Amino acid sequence: MTLEPAPADTRTAPWWADAVIYQVYPRSFADADGDGMGDLPGITARLDHLARLGVDALWLSPFYLSPQHDAGYDVADYRQVDPRFGTLADFDALREKADALGIRTIVDLVPNHTSSEHVWFQQALASAPGSPERDRYLFRDGRGPDGAEPPNNWTSVFGGPGWTRVPDGQWYLHLFDVTQPDLNWHNREVVAEFDDVLRFWLDRGVAGFRVDVAHGLVKHPDLPDWDGHTAMVEGTTRADGADPIEEHVPAPMFDQDGVHEIYRHWNEVLAEYDGDRMMVAEAWVEPAPRLAKYVRPDEMQQAFNFEFLIEGWDAAGMARAVENVMSANEAVGAPTTWVLSNHDVVRHASRFGLADPTHRPPGIGPDDEQPDAGVGLRRARAATLAMLALPGSAYLYQGEELGLPEATQLPAEVRQDPTFVRSGGAELGRDGCRVPLPWQAGAPAYGFSPTGASWLPQPAAFADHAVDVQEGVPGSTLELYRQLTALRRQLRLGTGTMAWADVHAPDEGVLAFTTEGVLVVLNASGRSFELPAGAELLLASVPDAVDGGALAPDTAVWLRLP
């Protein structure tokens, strides 16, 4: 079968259609002022790293004014930079230097909820039930005698109840932390405010937005009880055991049809600007055709394709995800995206080193099964090689270019993810993938900060992954990533179409496709695999991947077709 994403022609396609986009997590990228928390000047000082990596754009996780109860995804002011991260002038300097290096800047937009310290929520608390101030959020009376029971049985994604009661007896909804009250998107002030926030950043030259919890803004109007639970990294489970993919009935707090009206409107706002500005939806939505609705021509430009990430190290699962997502996107004429790691999931270099490499634990701690770091990294490099050849745009998460593993030995007392506390420790949370980057093996905090301070402790193993250890070393993960992006550009991978190759055998653990005259083979079979004769080796995931015409287990190659 041939899978044809659209548009196929790079001469007319917008920049984002095949872009490689690098996620910068500002808390953990580079710390210029030495307080142990990364900052915008730190990022600016290290932009050369991104330029040498050959990425087209960077996406900055939130750096806005925030009490940091959810690492900045709790925004108190959408137009201010948090002093921990710098100033607006620092943002402008970052964006300008990135532009000069040919790297576009995408910022995070958090429209589902504000921080409880946002002036609107403070006004809501100070105002009476039924007031216009309360109407910007989802305040409701409780059930039962004296309204002492929450308005419905929804739970927070981070664990615990989804409603919190205020002193006058009303309750407010928070799908996430208690400090993240959900906004009411039926309120016209909310709509107008976010139009203005979009324009504020578009005027400052951003190339686009990553839209947080894009599937959550509109809730079912009746706020009906729902017996399932949505967990941060495990997805939605229904209490009755029904399969959400088969039944296509979204949970009442997610993927309601009303969200699309918002994105159609934002599409018009972006269209007022030049330069193909874009939005990418973070929407944990199943199945693929429902996700594709977010990237219809008059809505967002991209949506993260988490199905590929969720399948893990499994050729049949990866092949299924490729087919599902590409055919769903083809139906709406949108190119797809690919991603294997981000700040919410266990790093793929560690997930793939678990006994079950399709497992996605909600964090890994000292008492859990420890991933095999060598096997995990070998597979991660192979999966990345395949990902970067697929048609569409690809997202990289900071540190994966260093082959960084998850930090799996963090003690409970340093954990900061609200998931850990709200789930009573049942979910360890996401701190393990958020540990500050190692730049120099011999420097304090491995070069992350000048003082040696680091908001999460860095594992000793990070020394082996430091940038200066890998720089210029043939076969290092860093050099592999640099080769991948350079060759991808040269061969125009990411554009055009793909087709499964003759040797594609997903049920036997071999994923193989052709694209732009290149044959890509990934071997997850556990055995060596005989490659077609006569093909020229372009790039291998590890130096010894090909031996006597056979592809070693847990590796992948790009070959030139004879």
- Alpha carbons 93 and 99: distance in angstroms, whole number: 10
Pick the closer one to ligand GLC by CB: 163 or 500. Answer: 163
Task: For helices 188-203 and 259-271, give the axis angle rounded to 10 degrees.
Answer: 30
In the complex, what is the shortest distance from the CB of residue 38 to ligand GLC, in angstroms, rounded to a whole number? 16
Check binding of 255 to ligand GLC (CB under 6 A): no
- Considering the complex, state which of residue 55 and residue 213 has its C-beta at the smaller distance from ligand GLC: 213
- Nearer to ligand GLC by Cβ, of 214 and 445: the residue is 214
**Residue 363 CB, nearest distance to ligand GLC (Å)?**
13
Segment holding 173, helix H or strand E: strand 171-173
Least separation in angstroms between CB 456 and ligand GLC: 15
23 vs 541, which CB is nearer to ligand GLC?
Answer: 23
Residues in a beta bridge with 511: 522
Instruction: Specify the residue, 233 or 394, whose C-beta has the smaller distance to ligand GLC.
Output: 233
Does 63 sit near ligand GLC (CB under 6 A)?
no
Q: Which is nearer to ligand GLC, 108 or 554 (by Cβ)?
A: 108
**What stretches of 64-152 adopt beta strand conformation (E)?**
64-65, 77-81, 104-109, 139-140
Which of 98, 213, 328, 435 is the binder for ligand GLC (CB under 6 A)?
Answer: 213
**β-pair type (229-231, 139-140):** unpaired
Q: Minimum Å distance from CB 61 to ligand GLC?
A: 8
DSSP 3-state percent helix, strand, coil across the chain (nearest 5): 30, 15, 50
Q: Does 455 bind ligand GLC (CB under 6 A)?
A: no
Closest CB to ligand GLC among 230 and 495?
Answer: 230
> Residue 70, interface with ligand GLC (CB under 6 A)?
yes
Residue 282 or 554: the one with the smaller Cβ distance to ligand GLC is 282
Burial (CB count within 10 angstroms: exposed 0-12, middle 13-18, buried 19+), residue 241: exposed
212 touches ligand GLC by CB under 6 A: yes
Quickly count: other Cβ atoms within 10 Å of residue 59's Cβ: 24
How far apart (Å, rounded) are the C-alpha atoms in residues 207 and 186?
Answer: 28
Spell out, one character per residue from 326 to 355, where the chain touches ligand GLC: x when CB under 6 A holds, - when not.
-----------------xx-----------
Nearest to 158 by CA among 371, 416, 389, 367: 416
Which parts of 22-61 interact with ligand GLC (CB under 6 A)?
none
Active site residues: 212, 272
Listed residue (57, 56, 76) closest to 65, CA to CA:
76
CB of 73 to ligand GLC, least distance (A): 3
Which runs of consecutive H residues, i.e. helices, occur in 162-258? 188-203, 244-247
Cβ 229 to ligand GLC shortest distance, Å: 15
* Count of positions on this chain that bind ligand GLC (CB under 6 A): 9
CB of 361 to ligand GLC, least distance (A): 17
Q: Which of 176, 266, 306, 462 binds ligand GLC (CB under 6 A)?
A: 176
Cis status, amide bond into 287, omega within 30 of 0: yes
Question: Hey, is 487 helix, strand or coil?
Answer: helix
What is the SS3 assignment for 81? strand
Position of minimal CB gap to ligand GLC: 73
Q: Ramachandran region of residue 516, left (φ > 0), alpha (ψ -120 to 50) or beta? A: left
Q: Please, which of residues 376-395 interact with ligand GLC by CB under 6 A?
A: none
Comparison of 111 and 252: residue with beta carbon closer to ligand GLC? 111
Judged by CB, which is closer to ligand GLC: 233, or 402?
A: 233
Distance from C-alpha of 246 to C-alpha of 242, rounded to nearest angstrom = 8
Of 364, 363, 335, nearest to 14 (Cα)? Answer: 335
CB nearer ligand GLC, residue 75 or residue 540? 75
Which residue of 22, 63, 73, 448 would you call a contact of ligand GLC, by CB under 6 A? 73
**Minimal distance in Å, beta carbon 175 to ligand GLC?**
8
Q: Taking CB under 6 A as the rule, which mask of x and - marks residues 102-131 in contact with ligand GLC?
A: --------x---------------------
User: Helices (DSSP H) in 433-530: which residue ranges?
Assistant: 462-465, 467-470, 477-490
- Residue 198 CA to residue 263 CA, distance in Å, equals 12
Least distance (Å) between residue 148 CB and ligand GLC: 28
* Residue labelled with tokens 């576009």: 104
| Per-residue x/- track, 269-308, ligand GLC (CB under 6 A) | -------------x--------------------------
Coil, helix or strand for 432? helix
Smallest gap, in angstroms, from Cβ of residue 29 to ligand GLC? 16
Q: Least distance in Å: CB of 343 to ligand GLC?
A: 6
Q: Which residues pair with 529 in a beta bridge?
A: 551
Q: Sign of torsion, CA 471 474 480 485?
A: positive
* Secondary structure (DSSP) of 296-363: STTS-SEE--HHHHHH-S-HHHHHHHHHHHHHHHHHHT---EEES--TTS--HHHHTTSSSTT---S-
Six-digit token string for 5? 């994403």
Residues forming the site for ligand GLC (CB under 6 A):
70, 73, 110, 176, 212-213, 282, 343-344
